[in-house]
Amino acid sequence: MSISKVYEKDELSGIRTKIAQLVDEYATLKYEPKEFVPEETFIPASGKFIDGAELGYMVEASLDGWLTSGRFNDQFEKKLAEFIGVKYAITVNSGSSANLIAFSTLTSSKLGDRSIRKGDEVIGVAAGFPTTVNPIIQFGAIPVFVDVDRHTHNIDPNKIEGAISPKTKAIMLAHSLGNPFNLDIVTKICKKYNLWLIEDCCDALGSKYKGKMCATFGDISTLSFYPAHHITMGEGGAVLTNSLELKEIAESFRDWGRDCYCPPGKENSCGRRFCQKMGGLPYGYDHKYMYSHLGYNLKITDMQAACGLAQLGKISSFIEKRKKNFNYLSQHLSSFEDILSLPKATHESDPSWFGFPITVNEESPVTRNDLTSYLEQNKIGTRLLFAGNLIHQPYMSGQNYRVSGELSNSDYVMNNTFWIGIHPALNEKMLSYVVEKFDLFLRANF
């Protein structure tokens, strides 16, 4: 390397150091903790927690000028897989994309008889987020809805076997608001009937069942990194698996459907770039342009990965804070349990809660909407349990799905349940204000 090149490199790194110092200074001022002002400060149901670490990494990634998935993404995928305890994590641009890729992976003809085909059935619930179910319909398979349990908002495990038909190929479920579904029963059923398990962990990063991390039970699992979630990169998600075969298929679906698995900027990783024959293509056609799946392009940029990497460094403290906030609300709202049903962790689970779900008992003289309107008027953000009962959503009219038994608990959740925030940006002063408002409202109405 010439002396002038070395000089240029040093100069560039000197400028980088100055920029990093300025970003740090900026972040200190921008993210200085603000005093909570009761009745004035809004308490959102979900929110991100970022500081100089995220800004610093994102600026570094942009100064690299690499733009597409690169060194930050490599580190993020490795560290995420280590944290969860799976062999492979691949990033995608949202939790919905993660579900799309996870499901599509199981439709690959490379899986032979086990691949999910059009018209096959996939068991799930209707009380949840639409994009846990949509990939099934988009592909032409049939979601089969089983009712949920009123207390955990998860699939009623005793109703699953009744929903199985000769066409059933998979179970695809989310851990509702971070509360694990009964993985003992679900994994036993999957084994007994040779079904795939897709674990949607978008709301459950860090949740454990019998001491084992969620996302390690399914054949393939998903995460979301939208700002509302446990960690964020703006928009983003990940697909997780222990199977090399599924990981390679998932990457193919994510990366245009290509057969080639070279990382961005690399060529001829397989060493057989110009000596293969596939489909009707001529022998030696460039492997880089051979497509084995009906794919997408759902990759992330390295700036997103940089943000995610900084967030991963904080994940344990985030999970602890969520649990602490959850326990605070559980303890302080317990005196209203004759009016409100409070969340219960699934037996033998340790949830990393996404939110604090509350159900206004049906016999109560006030409705869920009375309470949520009051809370919102008092600057306390509320959310419903996503789509409620999906089959009542406008877009589901005319779609091909099957209901197994009744969905009366899903309707109950749709009518009576909502959730409030416990995310790491909330502190005890805010939660104490939340409890005070519940107290005022419920005392005034009973």
Ligand X SMILES: Cc1ncc(COP(=O)(O)O)c(C=O)c1O
**For ligand X, how many residues bind (rule: CB under 6 A)?**
14
Q: What are 431-434's contacts with CB under 8 Å, separation 24+?
A: 431/325, 431/328, 431/329, 431/332, 432/332, 433/36, 433/38, 433/43, 433/380, 434/43, 434/329, 434/375, 434/380
Scored b (16 or more CB within 10 A) or e, 206-230 reads bbbbeeebbbbbbbbbbbbbbbbbb
Contact between 203 and ligand X by CB under 6 A: the answer reads: yes
Does 229 qualify as catalytic in the annotation? yes
Query: Which run of H or E residues covers position 146?
Result: strand 142-146
In the complex, what is the shortest distance from the CB of residue 290 to ligand X, in angstroms, rounded to a whole number? 30
Site for ligand X in 405-424 (CB under 6 A): none
User: Judged by CB under 6 A, does residue 94 bind ligand X?
Assistant: yes
What distance in Å separates the CA atoms of residue 54 and residue 59, rounded to the nearest whole number? 9
In the complex, minimum distance from the CB of residue 417 to ligand X, in angstroms, rounded to a whole number: 14
Pick the closer one to ligand X by CB: 69 or 134.
134
Among 102, 202, 220, 360, contact with ligand X (rule: CB under 6 A): 202
CB of 276 to ligand X, least distance (A): 35
| d(C-alpha 165, C-alpha 438), whole Å | 46
Q: Which is nearer to ligand X, 180 or 237 (CB)?
A: 237
Out of 229, 287, 293, 423, pick the active-site residue. Answer: 229
Q: Residue 131, interface with ligand X (CB under 6 A)?
A: yes
* Min CB(96)–ligand X separation in Å: 3
Q: Could you give phi then psi for residue 237, rounded to 5 degrees?
A: -170, 180
What's the full length of the chain, in residues? 446
Choice between 125 and 434, CB closer to ligand X? 125
- The residues near 216 (Cβ < 8 Å, ≥ 6 apart) are 84, 85, 86, 242
3-state DSSP assignment of residue 383: strand
In the DSSP assignment, the letter for residue 112 is: G
Q: By CB under 6 A, tell whether 226 contacts ligand X.
A: yes
Question: Which of residues 230 and 258 has its CB atom nearest to ligand X in the complex?
Answer: 230
Which residue, 216 or 292, has its beta carbon nearer to ligand X? Answer: 216
CB-based contacts of 226, cutoff 8 Å, min separation 6:
94, 95, 232, 234, 235, 236
Question: Is residue 132 involved in binding ligand X (CB under 6 A)?
Answer: yes
Sheet holding 208-209: strands in order across?
212-213, 208-209, 349-350
Do the strands 196-200 and 212-213 form a parallel or antiparallel pair, or are they unpaired?
A: unpaired
Q: Which of 56, 70, 95, 143 binds ligand X (CB under 6 A)?
A: 95
The residue of the chain with the least Cβ separation from ligand X equals 95
Q: Which stretch binds ligand X (CB under 6 A): 93-101, 205-213, 275-283, 394-402?
A: 93-101
Q: Is 224 in the site for ligand X (CB under 6 A)?
A: yes
The first and second tokens of residue 172, run together, are: 């695809």
- Segment contacting ligand X (CB under 6 A): 70-78, 92-100, 210-218, 289-297? 92-100
Q: Is 129 in the site for ligand X (CB under 6 A)?
A: yes
By beta-carbon proximity to ligand X, the closer residue of 49 and 374 is 49
The residues annotated with a catalytic role in the active site are 229
Residues interacting with ligand X, by CB under 6 A? 94-96, 99, 129, 131-132, 174, 200, 202-203, 224, 226, 237
